[in-house]
Amino acid sequence: MTRSFPGLLANDRVDLVLNAGEIHALLGENGAGKSTLVKMIYGVLKPDAGRIFWKGRETAISSPAAARGLGIAMVFQHFSLFDSLSVLENIALGLEVAKARDNLSERIVEVSRKYGLPLDPRRHVYTLSVGERQRIEIIRCLLQDPQLLIMDEPTSVLTPQEVDVLFGTLQRLCDEGMSILYISHKLDEIKALCRQATILRHGKVAASVRVQGETASSLAARMIGQELKTVNLSSSGSRGDVRFAVDRLDYPAADQFSVSLKQISLEVRGGEILGVAGVAGNGQDELLSALNGEIRTTPASAIQIDGQNCADLGPDQRRNLGLASIPSERLGHGAVPGLSLTENTLLTAHERMDFVRLGFINYGKSAKFGCQVIDDFDVKCNGVQSEAGSLSGGNLQKFIVGREINQTPSVLVVSQPTWGVDAGAAQAIRLALRRLAETGTAILVISQDLDELIQISDRLSAICSGALSPALPTLEVTLEQVGLMMSGVNLSESMHAA
Amino acid sequence: MIPYLEKRAEHSQAMVYASPFIALCLTLLAGTLLFSLLGKNPLQALYAFFVAPLTSAYGWAELGVKAAPLVLIGAALSIGFRAGVWNIGAEGQLTLGAICGGSVALWFYEVDSVFVLPLMMASGVLGGMLWASIPALLKTRFNANEILTSLMLTYVAALLLSLLVHGPLRDPDGFNFPESRIFSDSAMLPILWSGTRLHLGALFALAAVAGIWLLLSRTLIGFQVKVIGQAPAAGSHAGFSVNRIVWFALLLGGGMAGLAGLFEVAGPIGQLLPSISPGYGFTAIIVAFVGRLHPLGSLFAGLLIALSYLGGENAQIALNLPIAVTGVFQGMLLFFLLACDVLIRFRIRIRPVPGLRHG
């Protein structure tokens, strides 16, 4: 299969063979061409060249409906569900044949029981967790009796327990003869689940291998074309004083789609990275906004930066006290896509780096700062005047992280530092955070990537329904404990009891 | 062969500037068609519309007279539009500027002083700002849509002016006509070019273009305008206040519209009348968009639209065409411009007939 976009050859003569009853991994960094390939298989994109054989017969798949007609189903990474409708209504809306709606409720219950996907058809979607929402999508697919199920990064939003449930389901489907094309970054999952793997790099097949004969690091090496530099946790030296403290912070949700923060307390010392794990939608966005001042919280004495109270200050004033933050959404929140990198440095650095005099901007100074960030963090772009939106996700993220780090903040709050970023850039960002901590900065990392948190944080806590668990030293905590913390069980009480 | 639109990888900077010119060409083409259908010689009509007004020095001066308010308001409105603050009520703010500035002129009718005119200008600006502050307050306090509030206030302003010239501000020696006194000489704008009506307002329009350009390209508040318009969440992350920008954009637009209103009554008109503007406040919206929301663009767009006013009048005289032709031309220009702007993000490709592709 070959497919190009303006200025990019996304798939270059890619071959892929899937057998019946096989879980086949499609592996690759961001931008390697996985989505393009899958979209061609699912009929969303038309290939420029190449042929698809379905059960031995050459087939043209002109639309997603045609793909579903053949028996190909897909669970997307981003769900297309109506929050205000029930599970049953959502599934009924997705069905193309009206007749299929007969006894739908019973059939949903039957499928969910058979494959271990507990789901109540009468529940409204906005009351469901992300894992439960994913089950809706899977059941929607299974109701069509597919022979090929495509899953796009299904575990990126799940707790370890939910992942186990999902893997059990996939194994059962595969035993019944269904083929599954499993797209993921996560190498240990692929080791656990898949038999065969096709690895893409820069739009070409880098390797097609049996998973059994590979280790996670050999797969990673094939994927990124180089060995991963691992972050050395033990190198972090002594801890300083508490630089960032939050005491019983409350924030009532603005509407039914946001999460209330309840009695959040935390402390981060200089030189320390505190990790906050949690499944998406448990208050991570609200936590970041509450800490950096984008939303106001109570009580007025809840947040302290280096001992100075800042709970009634706005984001710019907190920044002047030394608190930098990096939101999870790069485009439109951390950076303005239509403005140049020079202009994007102004967003958070204009006061701390003294770019403005009497209301006038010194663009020379900000461009110099931007160039420094580009150099220091190896940002690939056409210079400091290129639009932020023209950079790839990983490079823009490196730029945003670098913009904050080069201001030498005393406290850094960062959400999803490597979300949607390729493995090489992710590793560079984690190293940069670790190095910043070693200069004495207190860092709070909010992330859904548990491996990442275990790799870089000194202490680990988790957020669940807007409440934050007490933090535990990362080296002492087990994966199961984190899973429990993520589902809201208070571990420290049981540990104190022991 | 089927033409289709393909998304560009990056939006085309060239098309940003080419689009108004393509739109102008399409407007001329459509105009040719329109005139032919009306039974007029299209070349003659286009000549009467676009060329004849500029064949005399007086015509050029008139161009400046018409362009001055359009440029002044258009450049200021483009700031607001960039910030996503949709001030549609510049016409009303212009009216209030005329009322406030004109009242000062009538109050100091007997006073012959160089301070009268500056005082009138200040009152004009304040009047426009006052009128614009109502939608600003409603927007920032109650989240009321400024498109609706500013537009509706336009009609209130027009009625207020009508009330005043029928009542308190009516000329006592004016045989009950709904007009004010004609302003005294010290309340009239200096003429830049003797023998024409070109007045001081034209210089103010140029100064406004330069000032707003500087504001947008060099100052922090101009930067905040761009950020909040393009990515409000990024503005909030940076700590920029949206409410502050709403106030700033509306007060700037209102102030400039008020000044333009004062210039109309203290320049070409010379008194307060029930109607003082042929819709400059609304047309300035077209000026801002044809000018790519850039102050320098507003200058060129203002001159172009001013020409369409002159051309409409001339076509009415020379060819007996209805005055509505002016509005039709302005409307077509905006219509084609918005259509051409698609080409900034997309390009036209030709697809071969399906089925001929080789796999």
pLDDT band for position A496 (cuts 50, 70, 90): very low
Residue A462 vs residues A178, A273, A279, A280: alpha-carbon distances, Å:
36, 14, 9, 11
Give the pLDDT confidence score for residue A235 in this predicted structure. 47
What is the spatial distance between Cα B142 and Cα A221, in angstroms, rounded to a whole number?
A: 57
The mean per-residue pLDDT over the stretch B105-112 comes to: 92
pLDDT of residue A127: 81
- For residues B226-242, give the mean pLDDT: 94
pLDDT of residue B326: 80
Tokens describing residue A427: 């590793």
**CATH number corresponding to A3-224:** 3.40.50.300
Look up tokens 């033409």; give the residue: B3
In this predicted structure, which of A328-342, B54-68, B329-343 has the lowest mean pLDDT? B329-343
pLDDT tens digits, one per residue of B295-311 = 999 999 999 999 988 98
**Where is pLDDT greater, at A472 or A234?**
A472
- Rounded to a whole number of angstroms, the distance from the CA of A248 to the nearest CA of chain B is 23
Task: Give the pLDDT band (50/70/90) at residue A276.
Answer: very high
Query: Which residues of chain A lie closer than 8 angstroms to B213, CB-CB?
Result: none
Sort out which chain A residues have CB atoms less than 8 A from B231's CB and list them: 331-333, 335-338
Report the pLDDT value the prediction gives residue A93, as an integer from 0 to 100: 82
Determine the Cα–Cα distance for residues A288 and A415; give it in Å rounded to an integer. Answer: 7
Q: Would you call B234 and A333 a contact, using CB atoms and an 8 Å cutoff? A: yes
Smallest CA–CA distance from A360 into chain B, residue? B219
Domain locations in chain B? Answer: 65-288
How far, in Å, CA of A324 to CA of A443, rounded? 10
Cβ within 8 Å, pair B223-A314: no
Residue A186: pLDDT band by 50, 70, 90 thresholds? Answer: confident
pLDDT for residue A6: 67
Give CA–CA dist A491/A24, Å, rounded.
37
Res A157: pLDDT: 66
A53 pLDDT above the threshold of 60: yes
The Cα angle at residue B96 between residues B92 and B102, in degrees rounded to 5: 140
Q: Could you tell me which residue, A487 or A498, shows the higher pLDDT?
A: A487
For residues B284-288, average pLDDT: 93
The residues, ordered by sequence, that sit 6+ positions from A213 with a Cβ below 8 Å of its Cβ are none
At A98-153, the pLDDT tens digits run: 666 678 888 888 888 888 788 888 888 888 877 788 888 888 888 888 899 999 87
Is A233-497 in CATH node 3.40.50.300?
yes
What is the reported pLDDT for A110? 87
pLDDT at A228 > cutoff 50:
no
* pLDDT reported for residue A212: 85
Chain B (232-261) residues lying within 8 Å, Cβ to Cβ, of chain A:
233-234, 236-241
Q: What mean pLDDT is predicted for residues B96-117? A: 94
Q: What is the pLDDT of residue A234?
A: 45
Burial (CB count <10 Å: 0-12, 13-18, 19+), residue B352: exposed
Mean pLDDT computed over A213-240: 63
Range of weakest confidence among A156-170, A206-220, B27-41, B345-359: B345-359
Q: Residue A453: its pLDDT value, please?
A: 87
Weakest-pLDDT range from A413-422, A431-440, B123-132: A413-422
Chain B 197-226, residues with CB within 8 Å of chain A CB atoms: 218-221, 223, 226
Give CATH 3.40.50.300 domain extents, chain A.
3-224, 233-497
**pLDDT value of residue A226:** 54
ipTM for the complex shown: 0.83
**Does the beta carbon of B231 lie under 8 angstroms from any beta carbon of chain A?**
yes
Q: B12 vs chain A: nearest CA distance in angstroms?
A: 12
To probe the interface with B, which of A320, A361, A407 has the most B CB atoms within 10 Å? A361
A356: chain B residues, CB-CB within 8 Å: 220
Interface test with A, best of B237, B344, B347, B351 (most A CBs within 10 A): B237
Each residue's pLDDT tens digit, B86-95: 999 999 999 9
Chain B stretch 9-38, residues whose beta carbon is closer than 8 A to a beta carbon of chain A: 9-10
Q: For position B267, what pLDDT does the model report?
A: 93
